[in-house]
């Protein structure tokens, strides 16, 4: 690892070598990309609609569907009585597909209608009569804690003696970090089309990140074997975790209507319905105590994390585990005790969201470091640099060594590149003048572990078919949702076989070709599926290499394609082991010694020699060993690392935040596709920026989401992007454990958006400190909305107004 570090002086920036475009780029910009609801309607196909609860918790006193079924064009209705197995869940099987006697969140579905037209469906839904009896509901984390309403058991990760170290620490701070939820706001809402085939199986096209789970949930709902359901996911119009688990019931509803009617059935819910029904990023409430010395070096941390899991488990316990694992982020803390508990509330079941639980733990420690610095009168960057993982201080609180650590170099490089010290001095001078809108500057880091923390999910399989013209088809369990996983896998396969990328086509993801696959999630889509495809390519390549060695010594007129049909010559045979003699696959040619032939020509000769040009590869992530009970072990294959510096300006009259400048450095190892990685880095940052500033969820008194459209829920627009936005990738050849030496780009950059939140706090605390004459620590919930920022700037004014 030391050699790898020495190869990165100053965190060398990677120039774009000329990346291949996204495989769907042309069809996207021309409007020809097909999504689930773009599929042509078949004769007799039905439109589906949902009947759901408007209350957080209620008893279903009666459900009358007769008037709806009397509407011309309404063909059928499905209720809990039509479901063969009515419970599902990714971790705990606890959630009804269709509620029957009681609902536990606003948006919980009690019935599904199937109709021949959208107009008939709307009239049918309006005719459904449900008598509800409202029941007391748990709406907050504090209410759940008081009621003892939890999902799963308490989780704990510890190192050293945090209590003793806290008691002995020269300085201590305590506080609470409140983190609210956020909607995924993918452009394509949840959608599925189910086709009952004449020979029995159900074919389901779903906007899902997890075709295998969708297949299984549909099969269980129908009461048929898994093999009688095929789930196909061509592409998604965004997912961000929101379609990892929660796409499955949508597909099941369509399949249930298709089975009952014997006709194709389509369910594509509106954006409003999608936001009302589906779960969000888990809200968290974190209470902590931290001990530190006079220099700002962290000595001990105790934290209690509570999350809002919603009405059912979904993935919330795994999300909590990830939050506990990321409480250290990029910093060494010798004594740690972090505990987490998932609360059961009457909200939609919250679910995976880009970063999973990682952003919650990172928000806590980055906020703590800001407060430690302000308490001691130091620059927060100096405190971070003092605590960052470094040689001799490079083992996490769960016992994993931080290998290939380039965090110190990243901090140092970005400090220079973004002119941090000059700008800090400029901001301090600017903030002295009361008439100026206050500005803030903060640099935060990310150390994001890459792997599923549930061991069996770290596997993938791939089918690679080489055709006689040298072109290649690849089928994997990866789902393309805009992130470019298909383009990355194509590049890996092309490099392995030495053919141009345009010769490689990624096929539609389908459970009949790739079974028992994991979700495209945890930033592992390319890692897992790319490695599986590479394994298949290596076996094909070994056979072709052996054939090339033999062909070199055979006259061209006696090659298999010339004589195979006559049967005059013995067949050439090869094994699955590559020959000892070096064989090169590059630029569409295969070369051994001074002999060279086109890859397509070699593929043709293999076919005439009855040598397999197809193979199936399976990959299981090595080196993992995390004990969930003890909270110790190697949880991740490697870490993606990065740093970002954000500068903000706060309008002192409105609280509106403008992000003036962002500088980012991300360690992507050896990028498979530079342009796509930059797109992921910048896109993740802006998405996270929305989460920490403007994306605020509002619920009415009955627990129904009110902010369920773009008019009431503000995601970032082009006007919100940083005025200056510098995002660069650094070259890190030291990551040798992953396929092709690359690193995951999907989730880690989102966590760097917390630098915007800490910069807002920096601006607010600068103003408050100037007014009060001492260091004032100002808590700020996420999202830091304009109202919250203004209240933090002018608490006295708000107190006066509210008192009057």
**290 lies in a domain?**
no
Among 15-24, 607-616, 738-747, whose mean pLDDT is lowest? Answer: 15-24
pLDDT of 74: 98
729 and 789 in a single domain? The answer is yes
Domain boundary among 568, 595, 620: 620
* Angstrom distance (rounded) from CA 336 to CA 390: 18
Query: What confidence score (pLDDT) does residue 11 get?
Result: 62
- Look at residue 17 and tell me whether its pLDDT is greater than 90: no
Instruction: Give me the mean pLDDT over the 519-526 stretch.
Output: 97
Looking at the fold, whether 616 and 755 belong to one and the same domain comes out as no
Question: In this predicted structure, what is the pLDDT of residue 803?
Answer: 81
Residues 648 and 537 in one domain: no
The pLDDT of residue 6: 31
Residue 10 has pLDDT above 70, yes or no: no
For all residues of the chain together, what is the average pLDDT? Answer: 95
CA distance 597 to 574: 18
Residues 446 and 463 reside in one and the same domain? no
Residues of the chain with pLDDT > 70: what percent? Answer: 98
Q: Specify the DSSP element, H or E, that contains 276.
A: helix 271-277
pTM over 0.75, yes/no: yes
Q: Which of 108, 370, 647, 747 is catalytic?
A: 747
The SS3 assignment for 530 reads helix
The reported pLDDT for the residue numbered 183 is 98
Instruction: Indicate the residue among 620, 648, 670 that finishes a domain.
Output: 620
Average pLDDT over residues 684-694: 98
pLDDT tier, 541 (very low <50, low <70, confident <90, very high otherwise): very high
Closest CA to 36 of 213, 256, 227, 238: 238
Q: Are strands 74-78 and 109-115 parallel, antiparallel or unpaired?
A: antiparallel
Q: How confident is the model over 712-730, as pLDDT tens digits?
A: 999 999 999 999 999 999 9
Sign of CA dihedral 512, 513, 516, 518: negative
pLDDT in tens, 150-184: 999 999 999 999 999 999 999 999 999 999 999 99
Same domain, 786 and 742: yes
Percent of the chain with pLDDT over 90: 92
Check residue 401 and give its pLDDT.
98
Q: What is the CATH number of the domain that holds 690?
A: 3.30.365.10
* Contact of 444 with 359, CB cutoff 8 Å: no
415-430 residue pLDDT tens: 999 999 999 999 999 9
- Please give the C-alpha separations between residue 616 and each of 475, 533, 611, in angstroms, as whole numbers: 9, 8, 15
Listed in sequence order, the residues at least 6 apart from 495 whose beta carbon sits closer than 8 Å to its beta carbon are 740
Q: Give the other-Cβ count within 10 Å of 162's Cβ.
A: 24
Q: Check whether residue 602 and residue 527 sit in a common domain.
A: yes
Is 379 contained in some domain? no
Q: Are 598 and 560 in the same domain? A: yes
- Cα 327–chain centre separation: 18
Q: What is the pLDDT of residue 2?
A: 31
Compute the Cα dihedral for 762, 763, 764, 767 and give only its sign.
positive
Instruction: Note whether 500 and 599 are same-domain residues.
Output: yes
545 and 603 together in one domain: yes
481 and 433 fall within a common domain: no
Mean pLDDT of 200-210: 96
The yes-or-no verdict on residue 5 having pLDDT over 70 is no
pLDDT digits (tens, 9 = 90+) for 436-456: 999 999 999 999 999 999 999
Residue 3 has pLDDT above 70, yes or no: no
594 falls within a domain: yes
Residue 747 designated active-site: yes
> Strands, DSSP E only, in 368-489?
439-450, 459-466, 472-476
Secondary structure letter of residue 37 according to DSSP: G
Q: In whole angstroms, give the CA distance from residue 775 to residue 655.
A: 21
- 803 Rama class: left (phi>0) / alpha (psi -120 to 50) / beta: alpha
Query: What φ, ψ does residue 171 adopt, rounded to 5°?
Result: -135, 145
Q: What mean pLDDT comes out for the span 243-268?
A: 98
pLDDT at residue number 7: 34
How many structural domains compose the chain?
2
In a domain, 716, yes or no: yes
Backbone angles phi, psi at 507, to 5 degrees: -90, 165
Per-residue model confidence (pLDDT) at position 9: 35
| pLDDT for the residue 1 | 27
CB-based contact 559:521 (threshold 8 Å): no
600 within a domain of the structure (yes/no) = yes
- Asked if residue 381 is part of any domain, the answer here is no
Task: Supply the DSSP string of 678-727, one letter for each residue.
Answer: HHHHHHHHHHHHHHHHT----B-TTS-BS--STTTS----GGGS-SEEEE
Q: Tell me the pLDDT band of 800, cut-offs 50, 70 and 90.
A: confident
For residue range 46-62, what is the model confidence (pLDDT) as tens digits?
999 999 999 999 999 99
- Answer yes or no: is pLDDT of 623 > 90: yes
3-state secondary structure of 499: coil
Q: Is the pLDDT of residue 8 over 70?
A: no
pLDDT per residue as tens digits for the range 268-287: 999 999 999 999 999 999 99
Q: Are residues 471 and 437 in the same domain?
A: no
Region of 649 (left: φ > 0; alpha: ψ -120 to 50; beta: rest) is beta
The DSSP code for 388 is B
- Asked if the structure places residue 577 within a domain, the reply is yes
pLDDT digits 0-9 by tens, 571-603: 999 988 999 999 999 999 999 999 999 999 999
Please give the average per-residue pLDDT across 27-37, as a whole number.
94
Last residue within a domain, chosen from 571, 594, 620: 620
pLDDT at res. 729: 96
> Helix axis angle, 380-387 relative to 358-376, nearest 10°?
120
Range of the domain at 444: 1-33+408-450+637-804
- Is residue 669 located within the same domain as residue 785? yes
pLDDT attached to residue 261: 98
């Amino acid at each position: 690892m030391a050699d790898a570090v020495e190869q990165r002086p100053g965190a060398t920036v990677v120039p774009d070598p000329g990346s291949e475009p996204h495989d769907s780029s042309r069809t996207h910009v021309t409007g020809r990309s097909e999504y689930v609801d773009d599929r042509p309607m078949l004769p007799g196909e039905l439109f589906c609609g949902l009947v759901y609860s408007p209350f957080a918790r209620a008893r279903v006193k009666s459900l009358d569907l007769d008037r709806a079924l009397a509407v011309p064009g309404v063909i059928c209705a499905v209720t809990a009585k039509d479901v063969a197995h009515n419970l599902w869940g990714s971790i705990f099987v606890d959630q009804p597909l269709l509620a029957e006697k009681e609902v536990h969140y606003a948006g919980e579905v009690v019935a599904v209608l199937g109709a021949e037209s959208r107009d008939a469906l709307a009239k049918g839904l309006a005719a459904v009569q449900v008598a509800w009896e409202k029941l007391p509901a748990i709406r907050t984390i504090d209410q759940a804690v008081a009621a003892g309403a939890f999902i799963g058991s308490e989780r704990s990760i510890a190192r050293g003696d945090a209590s003793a170290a806290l008691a002995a620490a020269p300085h201590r701070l305590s506080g609470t970090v409140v983190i609210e939820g956020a909607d995924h706001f993918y452009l394509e809402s949840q959608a599925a089309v189910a086709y009952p085939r004449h020979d029995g199986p159900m074919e389901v096209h779903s906007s899902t990140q997890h075709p295998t789970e969708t297949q299984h949930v549909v099969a269980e709902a129908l009461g048929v074997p898994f093999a009688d359901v095929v789930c196909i996911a061509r592409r998604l119009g965004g997912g961000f975790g929101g379609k990892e688990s929660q796409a499955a019931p949508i597909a099941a509803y369509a399949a249930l209507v298709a089975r009952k009617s014997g006709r194709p059935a389509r369910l594509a819910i509106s954006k409003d319905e999608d936001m009302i029904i589906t779960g969000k990023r888990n809200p968290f409430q974190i209470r902590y105590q931290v001990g530190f010395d006079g220099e700002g070096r962290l000595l001990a941390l105790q934290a209690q994390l509570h999350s809002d899991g919603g009405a059912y488990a979904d993935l919330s316990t795994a999300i909590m585990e990830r939050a506990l694992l990321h409480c250290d982020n990029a910093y060494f803390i010798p004594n740690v005790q972090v505990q987490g508990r998932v609360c059961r509330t009457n909200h939609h079941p919250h679910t995976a969201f880009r970063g999973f639980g990682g952003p919650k733990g990172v928000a806590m420690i980055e906020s703590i470091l800001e407060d430690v610095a302000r308490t001691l009168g130091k620059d927060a960057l100096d405190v971070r640099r003092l605590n960052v993982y470094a040689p001799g201080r490079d083992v996490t609180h769960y016992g994993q060594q931080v290998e290939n650590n380039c965090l110190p170099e990243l901090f140092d490089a970005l400090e220079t590149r973004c002119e941090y010290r000059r700008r800090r001095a400029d901001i301090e001078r600017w903030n002295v003048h009361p008439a100026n809108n206050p500005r803030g500057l903060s640099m935060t880091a990310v150390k994001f572990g890459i792997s599923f923390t549930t061991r069996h999910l770290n596997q993938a399989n791939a089918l690679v078919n080489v055709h006689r013209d040298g072109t290649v088809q690849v089928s994997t369990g990866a789902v393309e949702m805009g992130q470019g996983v298909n383009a990355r896998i194509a590049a890996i396969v092309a490099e392995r076989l030495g053919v141009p990328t345009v010769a490689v086509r990624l096929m539609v993801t389908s459970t009949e070709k790739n079974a028992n696959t994991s979700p495209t999630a945890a930033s592992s889509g390319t890692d897992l599926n790319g490695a599986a495809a590479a394994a298949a390519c290596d076996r094909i390549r070994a056979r072709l290499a052996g054939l090339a060695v033999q062909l070199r010594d055979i006259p061209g007129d006696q090659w298999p394609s010339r004589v195979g049909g006559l049967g005059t010559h013995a067949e050439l045979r090869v094994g699955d082991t590559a020959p000892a003699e070096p064989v090169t696959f590059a630029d569409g040619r295969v070369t051994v010694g001074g002999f060279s032939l086109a890859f397509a020509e070699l593929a043709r000769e293999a076919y005439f020699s009855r040598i397999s040009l197809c193979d199936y590869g399976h990959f299981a992530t090595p080196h993992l060993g995390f004990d969930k009970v003890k909270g110790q072990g190697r949880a991740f294959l490697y870490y993606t690392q990065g740093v970002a510096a954000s500068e903000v300006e706060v309008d002192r009259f409105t609280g509106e935040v403008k992000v003036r400048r962002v500088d980012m450095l991300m360690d992507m190892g050896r990028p498979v596709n530079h342009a796509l990685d930059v797109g992921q880095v910048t896109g993740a940052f802006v998405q996270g920026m929305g989460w920490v500033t403007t994306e605020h969820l509002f619920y009415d008194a009955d627990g129904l989401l009110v902010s369920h459209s773009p008019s009431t829920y503000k995601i970032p627009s082009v006007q919100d992007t940083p005025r200056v936005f510098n995002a660069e990738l650094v070259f890190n050849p030291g990551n040798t454990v992953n396929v092709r030496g690359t690193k995951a780009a999907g989730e880690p950059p989102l966590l760097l958006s917390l630098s915007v939140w800490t910069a807002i706090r920096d601006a607010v605390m600068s103003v408050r400190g100037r007014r009060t004459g001492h260091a004032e620590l100002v808590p700020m919930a996420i999202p830091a909305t304009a109202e919250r920022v203004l209240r933090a700037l002018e608490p006295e004014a708000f107190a006066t107004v509210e008192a009057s």
